[in-house]
């Protein structure tokens, strides 16, 4: 098995923090718009649920990856061994992936607020997007 260096984990955590922050901010903006909306249908409630999940997962990812970033930065005051990075890596990665899935679910549900035709289209685009993202991350 190839051992990954602290420098690589540091850069990966830095990039993940940036992406999670941007996507989390976007989903929080969607939540804010839904909160002021007068619409109270089942589909809007579902969009609110997946938006809240996405924002929460991205926030968890930011903090988990910040822990990873700090522990792999030169000058960190405590001794760090490889096993110290396992938990923040797992939490950060899983929450990032769940955040992406929730965000794609939000995009997929959005079209259903307009019509069945638009709902089918946004769902198809969401599925296609998820497949491409999963293909690019392996």
pLDDT in tens, 85-105: 999 999 999 999 999 999 999
Region 117-124 average pLDDT: 97
Give domain limits for the chain: 6-137
Q: Which CATH architecture has domain 6-137?
A: Up-down Bundle (1.20)
Q: Per residue, what are the HEC states of 2-64? A: CCCCHHHHHHHHHHHHHHHHHHHHHHHHHHHHHHHCCCCCHHHHHHHHHHHHHHHHHHHHHHH
Q: What is the pLDDT of residue 1?
A: 63
Q: Which two tokens stand for residue 42?
A: 């089942």
Entry pTM: 0.92
């Amino acid at each position: 098995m190839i051992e990954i260096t602290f420098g690589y984990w540091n850069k990966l955590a830095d990039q993940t923090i940036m992406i999670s922050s941007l996507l989390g901010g976007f989903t929080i903006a969607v939540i804010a718009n839904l909160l002021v909306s007068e619409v109270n249908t089942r589909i809007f409630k579902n969009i609110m649920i997946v938006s809240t999940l996405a924002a929460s997962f991205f926030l968890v990812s930011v903090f988990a990856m910040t822990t990873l970033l700090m522990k792999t930065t030169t000058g960190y005051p405590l001794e760090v061994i490889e096993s110290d990075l396992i938990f923040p890596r797992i939490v950060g990665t899983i929450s990032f992936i769940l955040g992406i899935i929730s965000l794609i679910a939000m995009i997929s549900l959005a079209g259903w607020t307009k019509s069945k035709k638009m709902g089918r289209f946004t769902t198809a685009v969401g599925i296609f997007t998820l497949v491409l993202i999963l293909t690019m991350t392996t």
